[in-house]
């Protein structure tokens, strides 16, 4: 099996076009890593990097997740500290607006409308970068509020505060736009989805740090006691294999709805009928419900904590209630995990409701003479697709809840370091596995076109998109 995979990778470099695409992708990803390492002028990135290294387990909330998506750029005060996330956020906002704004929805279906939508996404990315960059500049200016009272020191080296803010916002915006452009170049001239690969390479860049932490779990420094033994190592290895296998299975899982096409005449041409199928993916929303849930849950605990401190003097009873609520919503508590699970379920259905248009699908089937056997065309087909999608979405949402809470449970209950646990589930594992599957599928398509064997002897690798 391993020999076959190695031979397949060797065959990739025998095809000139595929070879050039792979080399181009690797070089562009190397540039993305450089962007994540160059510090912004006027900021002490070494001080913040040292704080993150010494308090790795304390930065496991949304701040740690954001730093993971930027490939550690946030920890170094690098020019790529915003990462590619503003562009992804802008794309998601445009997609959601397309489901509720008729003009955008119409533009998406028009010829050439996709180009306009991409252009709008870029404009929105610039606006988001300016806003998020200014907030991040203020956060670095007041690191105790952003990273906690345990942070000692001053990150800003410039004396002129406004010059520092303007410079930092412009540098951060430029860094994100550069990453966006590099991602688009990978999509056009490389292999795989460029934006997804930029995020993935940032996640994988933290793998050496996780490997060192894992080694220290079983082989601590001299004089320290090891809390993990060979049994724990085998259990972690089996858990990793099981999680990866489950993610691959659910990512590629789909329900095939049979579709029958009747014979029809268009002008002088007669199109024969046939049988096909409509694939409905189990995990239709992908990783988005987890990102939405964790992003929203970052704020209630902090807001309640601030309100508790404000009302501590005049309304002590209310202050205690707010303190209790803030403590219950801290990252890793039972209440936090419960609320996170419910929000993942909600956003899974919300994403399907906004992106999966069963009415339009039913109309298109009726327009082109297609129908689902045993189901009437029109409204009955729409209701059937709605029921089918609701059922399989429940299975996908439950799977996302389990994957999302695995790293937190490993950290809270088993004492596994956060940087190690994040590779056993959560957004990082979902993104990495999905991107690898999608990239491998594209490479396999090039191989099969040149009559080479693919990565699998039986079947084909299906992408996420």
Highest mean pLDDT among 169-173, 366-370, 372-376: 169-173
Buried b (16+ CB within 10 A) or exposed e, 83-115: bbbbbbbbbeebbebbeeeeebeebeeeeeeee
Q: How confident is the model at residue 176 (pLDDT cuts 50, 70, 90)?
A: very high
CA angle 69, 117, 71 (to 5 degrees): 10
CA angle 207, 301, 141 (to 5 degrees): 65
Domain ranges of the chain: 21-199, 206-282+356-465
CB 117 within 8 A of CB 98: yes
Say what the pLDDT of residue 127 is: 92
Task: Compare 106 and 279 and report the one with higher pLDDT.
Answer: 279
Mean pLDDT of all residues belonging to the chain: 81
Class in CATH terms, 206-282+356-465:
mainly alpha
pLDDT in tens, 422-452: 888 777 888 888 888 888 888 888 777 776 6
Going 123 to 127 to 130 to 133, the CA torsion angle's sign is negative
Q: Is the pTM of this model over 0.85?
A: no
- State the DSSP string of 61-125: SHHHHHHHHTTTTGGGTBTTTTTTHHHHHHHHHHHHHHHH-HHHHHHHHSTTHHHHHHHHHHHHH
Q: Of 1.10.3370.10, 3.40.640.10, 1.20.1050.10, 3.30.70.20, which CATH number belongs to 21-199? A: 1.10.3370.10
pLDDT in tens, 256-306: 888 887 766 666 666 666 788 888 888 888 888 887 787 777 777 777 777
Fold match flag (21-199 vs 206-282+356-465): yes
Residue 10 reports pLDDT greater than 90:
no
Residue 63 reports pLDDT greater than 70:
no
What crossing angle do the helices spanning 194-204 and 16-35 adopt, rounded to 10°?
60
Closest CA to 79 of 24, 138, 39: 39
């Amino acid at each position: 099996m391993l020999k076959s995979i190695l031979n397949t990778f060797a065959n990739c470099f025998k095809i000139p076009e595929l070879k050039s695409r792979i080399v181009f992708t690797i070089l562009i990803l190397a540039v993305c890593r450089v962007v994540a390492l160059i510090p912004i002028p006027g900021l002490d990135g070494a001080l913040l990097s040292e704080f993150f290294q010494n308090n790795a387990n304390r930065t496991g909330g949304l701040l740690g997740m954001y730093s993971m998506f930027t490939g550690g750029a946030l920890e170094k005060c690098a020019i790529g500290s915003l990462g590619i996330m503003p562009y992804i956020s802008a794309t998601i906002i445009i997609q959601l607006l397309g489901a509720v704004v008729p003009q955008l929805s119409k533009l998406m279906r028009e010829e050439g409308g996709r180009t306009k939508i991409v252009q709008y996404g870029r404009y929105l990315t610039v606006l988001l970068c300016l806003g998020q960059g200014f907030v991040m500049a203020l956060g670095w200016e007041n690191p105790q509020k952003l990273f906690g009272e345990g942070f000692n020191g001053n990150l800003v080296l410039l004396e002129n505060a406004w010059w520092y803010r303007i410079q930092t916002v412009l540098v951060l915006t430029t860094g994100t736009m550069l990453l966006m452009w590099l991602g688009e170049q990978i999509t056009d001239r490389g292999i795989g989805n460029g934006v997804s690969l930029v995020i993935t390479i940032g996640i994988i860049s933290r793998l050496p740090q996780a490997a060192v932490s894992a080694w220290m779990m079983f082989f601590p420094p001299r004089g320290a006691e090891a809390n993990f033994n060979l049994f724990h190592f085998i259990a972690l290895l089996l858990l990793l294999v099981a999680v990866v296998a489950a993610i691959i299975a659910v990512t590629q899982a789909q329900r095939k709805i049979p579709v029958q096409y009747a014979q029809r005449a268009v002008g002088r041409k007669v199109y024969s009928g046939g049988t096909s199928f409509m694939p409905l993916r189990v995990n239709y929303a992908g990783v988005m419900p987890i990102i939405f849930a964790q992003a929203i849950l970052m704020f209630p605990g902090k807001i309640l904590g601030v309100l508790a401190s404000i009302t501590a003097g005049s309304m002590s009873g209310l202050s205690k209630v707010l303190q209790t609520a803030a403590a219950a919503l801290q990252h890793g508590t039972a209440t936090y995990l419960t609320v996170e699970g419910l929000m993942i379920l909600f956003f899974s259905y919300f994403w399907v409701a906004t992106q999966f248009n069963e009415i339009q699908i039913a109309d298109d089937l009726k327009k082109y003479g297609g129908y689902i056997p045993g189901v009437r065309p029109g409204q009955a087909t729409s209701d059937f697709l709605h029921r089918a999608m609701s059922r399989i979405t429940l299975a996908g949402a439950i799977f996302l809840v389990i994957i999302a809470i695995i790293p937190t449970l490993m950290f809270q209950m088993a004492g596994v370091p956060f940087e190690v646990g994040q590779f056993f589930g959560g957004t990082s594992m979902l993104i990495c596995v999905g991107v690898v599957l999608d990239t491998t599928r594209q490479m396999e398509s090039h191989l099969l076109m040149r009559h080479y064997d693919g990565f699998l002897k039986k079947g084909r690798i299906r992408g996420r998109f």
